[in-house]
């Protein structure tokens, strides 16, 4: 049994093993069968049928015009599978072409409807962007009915968008951007007159992205809003520069899925509606240049998904920045050119993702928040042209900051404690036009990535370090001009091999500097060292000419140069050369006339001109204040600015200027003859100054054509005669008209009322005969009216109750024959003479600019009688006010309303027949500096209120009928007895008449020139007066004789007199100089009586200025000295000329 059992067991085991082996065999067999079937299927299945699209693609390639810059079409060859063509995508199942991307392939020529492209009806995506097709969108595009994405942006396709586009109902993305066409002045896409946005998109209900930038839609907010609101799936809406108008309709609130709205450059002219803040997914909102108005809703800043907000260039849009929360997502904030104001909150630091901040040209104020400097992701910060104050915060944590622009603010304090070295990514730093002080930290020059450093127009002082340490190798621009830096210019600056622009003008750098150092700066293109205390050495620069850099601009004004730098002969790129205000003499060489654009050699000692200006290509030429003589040269044919004033040219004016000249000044020469009528055809001429010459004849009547372009016309101090013709056109553009000091006669032409922009009118010192031109009150911009020394007559009335001269600040009608009473209401119509009525800030020069692309300022000048001297205001300030009606026949009392003109500085009513008391209201004229009421019939006592005029430095009440005690104290203690002579009833200091009479009046005078009933004498002699007169005559002889015959004594007297006057008028920052000796005698002199009537004296300049062409503004220059001719600087030289 046991053996049988064992056998059975063994047999079972064998059976099990056989069964397992059989099962494994079947499994292996099954596996191989399946594998064979798969292999058989794979080997027997047919290859994809060749698609007809391959041939279509090759045909398409043959019809397209492209260049070798194409990268995709070059791969389309017959030997390559068409689905492998670059820019082609095929369906993996069918092999049909479903996408073509030929963007930026330099494609050109037409795209006709017969193109094989429109036979590819399986296309789902077509991108032809950034090409140069020159045709309309073909109607055949409707055949591509399966398109989901169509991108034709900036493809060169133009004309009307066809209805066929509206039939592409499966479109999800439509981009027809056409803004490059308008940029290049070409015609782009438009919807056409008979179509609308609604018709275009009404069937495109699947659209998620609609981009129509530059497509002319020309619809109102309601029209395009209703069309877009139907696209409920829309996420991106971009319609930049589409001619949209009249706001944003709230129907857009139906677009619940929208994330991006771009509506820039449309004339929306509306308030920003708060419904935009209800878009829960909004991430991008840009509406620059849209004419937005009102107050921007603060809640817009709190949209949690908002990443980009651009409201720039909407100056009427107001608003403030709110307190930001920690959940803010804003990365780009652009409010440039808006009316946003207030302070930037510290909470701006919670916007951790902030990368770009542009708050320039707004009205922000206060301190720059320190938290903004701790934004680690900040890349660009522009806060220029605001009113930020206080110190510059630290930006040590803003390690990604590339551009930091804080110019044109009111920032102050030192920047030495700012850790500049930590800004390792900084490329551009602009702190210019602030009030920062202290030293310039040398760590600025060590920022490795820094390329441009602009610190001009601040108050930085001290010396630049002799050692700059490790400096940036890529720095190419350094501008430290208009500061108070001193000492020597470190030679290490000339070792910055990558330097292209170096500007150090208007500082206090001193010492000598050799121009041979420029040989180390191989890439230098612009150098400005003007207006320092430098002595530039140009010797040795004539050798090794090729080693000097090729400059574009070189400015070495007032650098004590005594010769022309020799290396200039080899400068082929030089466009702007300023060597003015130096000591260079001799002839102007012909090679220097090869400068391409601007040449300023003014204020030197050149005596002649080599070569011909007629072949020069100069646009700006300034040779004024030299010793050039002889015939006027023929001017450069392309010149727009020509100044040859203050020389000794002696020829006549012929047809010398071209048709494009904007500025021409030949003043202060010896030019004679008549004014040529050929000037009348120069329609671009804006400034014409022929003053201080010997021009004769009449004013050409054809000047009526010039009055439509001229802004400044000065014919002063010539010998012109005849009447002033009716030369002022209906659209007269004149701002300044000066015909003074000639022999013009007749009435004032009534057409002058056409010059509504006129600010300065000077007709003084002629022979004009007319009544007061009350009709000029229609000139609301008039600031200066001078009619002195003519033959005007009659009364002055103020009949037009509602017409005033709101800006009139200087009135001079002295030395005429006006008569009648002074009307009280006249003095209430000049608000500019009232302190509270001045609309402009103090010390604003009365000037205008010309040349649109390179503005140059031109200053007005005028003669005024000020403190007994005739002085020439070279710079008329809006703060200077003067009223002079002296030497007429006015009678009656002085109106008390005169006291309302409390902004007056000069008041002269002398030599009239005014009577009655001095009105006490004159004591209200608290800014008065000169008061002359002499030679009238004024009576009564001197008002005590005049003692309170603390600025009064000149007073004359002489030869009236005043009585009583002279007030004492304050300014009255400084006046001499000449201020009170000829008033028999006055007593007290400084007169010798004691106030000793019992009744408190003055003691009776001891002598009298006139017979009186009381004495009964008809003729009496007062020997005291006789001896006094004789003594005075003898003393004057002793003083005057040396001045007439002893040259050294005359110079000493002139110097002392000038110093006295200068000290008297320092309150204005006025600079005073004597008359120069370069004047020439006229062929005909004025009448002797005119010369006798006019007080003589020097001239002065309210303040000297310079022009910064980079920033185009006037800046005070305390170093310059004025003389009689305005000068226009070529960028950085003073506007007021120097001697």
Cα 378 to Cα 943: distance, rounded to the nearest angstrom:
68
Least confident window among 371-380, 456-465, 641-650, 700-709: 700-709
Q: 10 Å Cβ neighbour count for 236?
A: 18
Strand 284-286 with 260-262, pairing: parallel
Which tens digits make up the pLDDT trace of 447-468?
999 999 999 999 999 998 766 5
Query: Is the pLDDT confidence value at 1073 over 50?
Result: no
Residue 1087 scores a pLDDT above 60: no
Dist CA 676 CA 700 (whole Å): 8
793: pLDDT strictly greater than 60: yes
1083 pLDDT above the threshold of 80: no
Mean pLDDT for 646-666 is 84
Write down the pLDDT at residue 246: 93
Query: Is residue 942 predicted with pLDDT exceeding 80?
Result: yes
- Binned at pLDDT 50, 70 and 90, residue 765 comes out as very high
| pLDDT above 90 coverage of the chain, percent | 57
The whole-number average pLDDT for the span 1055-1076 is 49
Per-residue confidence at 193, pLDDT binned at 50, 70, 90? confident
- Which pair of tokens denotes residue 829? 């119509």
What is residue 471's predicted lDDT score, i.e. its pLDDT?
73
DSSP-derived secondary structure letter, 253: G
Q: Estimate the crossing angle of helix 1023-1045 against helix 1047-1064, to 10 degrees.
A: 110
* Mean pLDDT on 1034-1053: 58
Q: Highest mean pLDDT range out of 98-102, 325-329, 442-446?
A: 98-102
* Mean pLDDT within 294-300: 94
Give which of 554, 503, 569, 565 is closest to 532, Cα–Cα: 503
249 pLDDT above the threshold of 90: yes
pTM listed for this prediction: 0.77
Cα angle 671, 674, 675 (rounded to 5 degrees) comes to: 90
352 compared with 1090, residue with greater pLDDT? 352
Residue 1044, pLDDT score: 56
Lowest-confidence pick of 123-137, 293-307, 1025-1039, 1060-1074: 1060-1074
For the purposes of burial, counting CB atoms within 10 Å of the CB of 227, is it exposed (0-12), middle (13-18) or buried (19 or more)? buried
Whether residue 373 contacts residue 394, with contact meaning beta carbons closer than 8 Å, is answered with yes
Indicate the helix (H) or strand (E) that contains 183: helix 179-183
What was the pLDDT predicted at 875?
45
Give residue for tokens 């706001």: 247
Report how far apart, in Å, the C-alpha atoms of 457 and of each of 174, 437, 450, 688, 1109 are. Answer: 51, 11, 20, 32, 13
Q: How confident is the prediction for the chain on average, in pLDDT?
A: 82
1011 pLDDT more than 80: no
pLDDT at 20: 53
Distance CA(643)–CA(622), nearest Å, equals 5
The whole-angstrom separation of Cα 728 and Cα 777 is 17
Question: What value does the mean pLDDT take over residues 332-343?
Answer: 97
Question: Alpha helices, DSSP H only, in 514-662?
Answer: none
pLDDT of residue 349: 94
Q: Which residue has the tokens 């001239």?
A: 1099
pLDDT at 635 over 70: yes
pLDDT reported for residue 611 = 84
> In this predicted structure, which of 7-11, 238-242, 288-292, 408-412 has the lowest mean pLDDT?
7-11
CA angle at 827 for the pair 821 and 830, rounded to the nearest 5°: 145
Report pLDDT for 312: 97
Structure tokens at 256: 């619940």
532 versus 616: the higher-pLDDT residue is 532
DSSP H helical ranges for 820-879: none
Q: Looking at residues 997-1006, what average pLDDT do you find?
A: 44
Alpha helices in 739-820, H assignment, sequence order:
none
Residue 807 is predicted with a pLDDT of 87
Taking residues 639-655, what's their average pLDDT? Answer: 88
User: Average pLDDT of 1099-1117?
Assistant: 34
Which of the 8 DSSP states describes residue 457? S
Q: Is the pLDDT of residue 866 over 60?
A: no
Distance (Å, whole) CA 807 – CA 830 = 7
| pLDDT for the residue 973 | 84
Which pLDDT tens digit goes with each residue over 538-597?
998 888 888 999 999 999 999 999 999 999 999 999 999 999 999 999 999 999 999 989
Instruction: List phi, psi (to 5°) of 833.
Output: -95, 5
- Pairwise CA distance, residues 625 & 1124, whole Å: 11
738 falls in which pLDDT band (50, 70, 90)?
Answer: very high
- Residues 71-122: tens digit of each pLDDT: 899 889 988 888 889 999 999 888 899 999 999 999 998 999 999 999 999 9
What's the pLDDT score for residue 467? Answer: 61
User: Mind listing the pLDDT tens digit for each residue in 469-496?
Assistant: 667 789 999 999 999 999 999 888 888 8
Cis previous bond, 990, omega within 30: yes
- CA dist 338 and 308 (Å) reads 17
Lowest-confidence region among 221-235, 655-669, 1103-1117: 1103-1117
Please say if the pLDDT value at position 273 is more than 60: yes
Distance CA 669, CA 1079 (A): 8
Mean pLDDT of 617-638: 91
Q: What integer pLDDT is reported at residue 886 of this predicted model?
A: 95
Q: Which carries the bigger pLDDT value, residue 132 or residue 1082?
A: 132
620 CB-near residues (< 8 Å, 6+ apart): 597, 598, 599, 600, 639, 640, 641, 1130
Mean pLDDT within 208-224: 95
Q: What is the mean pLDDT of residues 1094-1123?
A: 35
Average pLDDT over residues 906-931: 93
Q: Which residue has the higher pLDDT, 842 or 159?
A: 159
Question: Strand 1099-1101 to strand 1071-1073: parallel, antiparallel, or no bridges (unpaired)?
Answer: antiparallel
Residue 848: pLDDT over 50: no
């Amino acid at each position: 049994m046991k053996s049988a059992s064992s056998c059975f067991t063994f047999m079972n085991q064998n059976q099990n093993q056989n069964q397992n082996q059989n099962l494994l065999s079947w499994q292996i067999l099954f596996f191989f069968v399946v594998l064979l079937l798969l292999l058989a299927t794979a080997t027997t299945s047919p290859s994809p049928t060749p698609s007809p699209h391959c041939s279509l693609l090759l045909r398409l390639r043959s019809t397209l015009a492209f260049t070798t810059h194409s990268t995709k079409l070059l791969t389309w060859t017959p030997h390559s599978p068409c689905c492998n063509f670059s820019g082609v995508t095929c369906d993996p199942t069918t092999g049909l072409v479903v996408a073509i991307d030929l963007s930026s392939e330099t494609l050109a020529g037409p795209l006709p409807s017969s193109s094989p492209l429109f036979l590819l009806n399986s296309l789902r995506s077509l991108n032809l962007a950034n090409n140069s097709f020159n045709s309309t969108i073909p109607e055949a595009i409707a055949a591509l009915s399966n398109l989901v994405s169509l991108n034709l942006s900036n493809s060169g396709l133009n004309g009307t968008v066809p209805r066929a586009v509206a039939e592409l109902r499966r479109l999800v993305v439509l981009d027809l951007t056409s803004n490059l066409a308008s940029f290049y002045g070409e015609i782009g896409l438009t919807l056409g007159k008979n179509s609308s946005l609604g018709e275009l998109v009404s069937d495109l209900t699947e659209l998620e992205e609609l981009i129509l930038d530059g497509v002319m839609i020309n619809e109102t907010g309601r029209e395009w809003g209703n069309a877009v609101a139907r696209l409920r799936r829309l996420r991106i809406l971009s319609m930049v520069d589409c001619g949209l108008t009249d706001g944003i309709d709230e129907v857009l609130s139906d677009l619940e899925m929208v994330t991006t709205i771009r509506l820039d450059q449309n004339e929306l002219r509306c308030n920003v509606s708060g419904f935009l803040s209800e878009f829960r997914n909004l991430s991008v909102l840009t509406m620059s240049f849209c004419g937005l108005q009102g107050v921007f809703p603060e809640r817009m800043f709190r949209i949690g998904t908002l990443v980009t907000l651009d409201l720039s260039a909407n100056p009427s849009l107001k608003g403030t920045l709110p307190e930001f929360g920690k959940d803010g997502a804003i990365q780009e904030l652009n409010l440039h050119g808006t009316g946003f104001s207030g302070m930037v909150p510290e909470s701006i630091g919670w916007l951790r993702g902030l990368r770009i901040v542009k708050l320039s040209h707004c009205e922000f104020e206060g301190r720059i928040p320190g938290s903004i400097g701790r934004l680690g992701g900040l890349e660009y910060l522009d806060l220029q042209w605001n009113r930020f104050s206080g110190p510059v915060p630290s930006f040590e944590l803003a390690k990604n900051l590339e551009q930091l622009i804080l110019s044109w603010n009111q920032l102050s304090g030192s920047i030495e404690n700012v850790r500049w070295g930590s800004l390792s990514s900084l490329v551009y730093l602009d702190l210019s036009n602030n009030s920062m002080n202290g030293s310039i930290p040398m760590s600025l020059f060590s920022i490795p990535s820094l390329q441009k450093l602009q610190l001009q127009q601040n108050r930085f002082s001290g010396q630049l370090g002799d050692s700059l340490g490790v400096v940036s190798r890529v720095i190419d621009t350094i501008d430290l001009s208009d500061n108070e830096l001193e000492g020597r210019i470190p030679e290490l600056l000339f070792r910055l091999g990558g330097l292209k622009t170096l500007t150090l003008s208007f500082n206090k750098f001193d010492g000598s500097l050799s121009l041979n150092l420029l040989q180390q700066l191989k890439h230098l293109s612009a150098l400005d060292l003007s207006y320092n205390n430098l002595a530039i050495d140009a010797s040795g620069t004539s050798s090794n000419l090729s080693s000097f850099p090729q400059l574009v601009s070189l400015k070495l004004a007032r650098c004590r140069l005594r010769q022309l730098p020799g290396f200039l002969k080899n400068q082929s790129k030089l466009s702007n050369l300023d060597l003015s205000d130096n000591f260079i003499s001799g002839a102007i060489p012909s090679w220097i006339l090869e400068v391409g654009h601007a040449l300023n050699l003014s204020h030197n000692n050149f005596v002649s001109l080599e070569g011909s200006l007629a072949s020069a290509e100069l646009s700006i030429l300034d040779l004024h204040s030299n010793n050039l003589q002889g015939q006027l040269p023929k001017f450069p044919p392309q010149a727009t600015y020509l100044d040859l004033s203050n020389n000794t040219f002696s020829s006549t004016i012929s047809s010398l200027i071209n048709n494009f000249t904007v500025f021409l000044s030949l003043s202060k020469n010896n030019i004679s003859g008549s004014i040529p009528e050929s000037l009348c055809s120069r329609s671009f001429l804006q400034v014409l100054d022929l003053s201080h010459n010997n021009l004769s004849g009449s004013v050409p009547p054809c000047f009526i054509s010039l009055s439509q372009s001229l802004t400044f016309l000065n014919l002063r101090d010539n010998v012109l005669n005849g009447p002033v013709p009716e030369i002022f056109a209906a659209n007269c553009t004149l701002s300044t008209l000066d015909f003074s000091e000639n022999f013009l006669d007749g009435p004032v032409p009534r057409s002058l009322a056409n010059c509504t922009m006129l600010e300065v009118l000077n007709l003084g010192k002629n022979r004009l005969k007319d009544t007061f031109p009350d009709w000029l009150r229609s000139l609301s911009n008039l600031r200066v009216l001078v009619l002195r020394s003519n033959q005007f007559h009659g009364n002055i009335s103020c009949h037009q109750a509602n017409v005033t001269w709101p800006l009139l600040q200087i009135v001079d009608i002295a030395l005429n024959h006006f008569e009648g009473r002074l009307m009280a209401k006249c003095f209430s119509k000049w608000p500019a003479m009232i302190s509270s009525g001045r609309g402009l800030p103090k010390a604003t020069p009365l000037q205008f600019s010309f040349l649109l692309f390179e503005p140059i300022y031109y200053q007005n000048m005028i003669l005024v009688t000020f403190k007994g001297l005739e002085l020439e205001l070279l710079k008329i300030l809006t703060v200077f006010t003067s009223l002079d009606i002296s030497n007429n026949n006015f009678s009656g009392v002085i109106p008390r309303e005169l006291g309302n003109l409390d902004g007056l500085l000069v008041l002269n009513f002398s030599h009239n027949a005014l009577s009655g008391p001095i009105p006490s209201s004159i004591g209200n004229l608290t800014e008065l500096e000169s008061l002359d009421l002499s030679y009238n019939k004024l009576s009564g006592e001197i008002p005590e209120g005049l003692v309170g005029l603390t600025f009064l430095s000149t007073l004359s009440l002489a030869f009236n009928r005043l009585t009583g005690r002279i007030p004492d104290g304050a300014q009255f203690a400084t006046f001499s007895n000449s201020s009170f002579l000829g008033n028999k009833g006055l007593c007290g200091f400084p007169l010798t008449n004691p106030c000793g009479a019992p009744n408190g009046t003055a003691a009776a005078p001891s002598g009298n020139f006139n017979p009186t009933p009381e004495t009964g004498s008809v003729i009496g002699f007062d020997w005291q007066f006789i001896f006094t007169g004789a003594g005075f005559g003898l003393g004057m002889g002793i003083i005057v004789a040396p001045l007439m015959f002893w040259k050294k004594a005359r110079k000493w007297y002139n110097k002392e007199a000038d110093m006295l006057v200068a000290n008297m008028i320092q309150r204005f920052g006025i600079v005073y100089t004597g008359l120069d000796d370069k004047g020439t005698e006229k062929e005909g002199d004025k009448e002797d009586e005119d010369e006798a009537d006019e007080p003589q004296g020097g001239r002065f300049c309210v303040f000297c200025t310079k022009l910064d062409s980079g920033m185009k503004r006037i800046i005070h220059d305390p170093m310059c000295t004025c003389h009689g001719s305005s000068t226009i600087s070529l960028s950085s030289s003073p506007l007021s000329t120097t001697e």
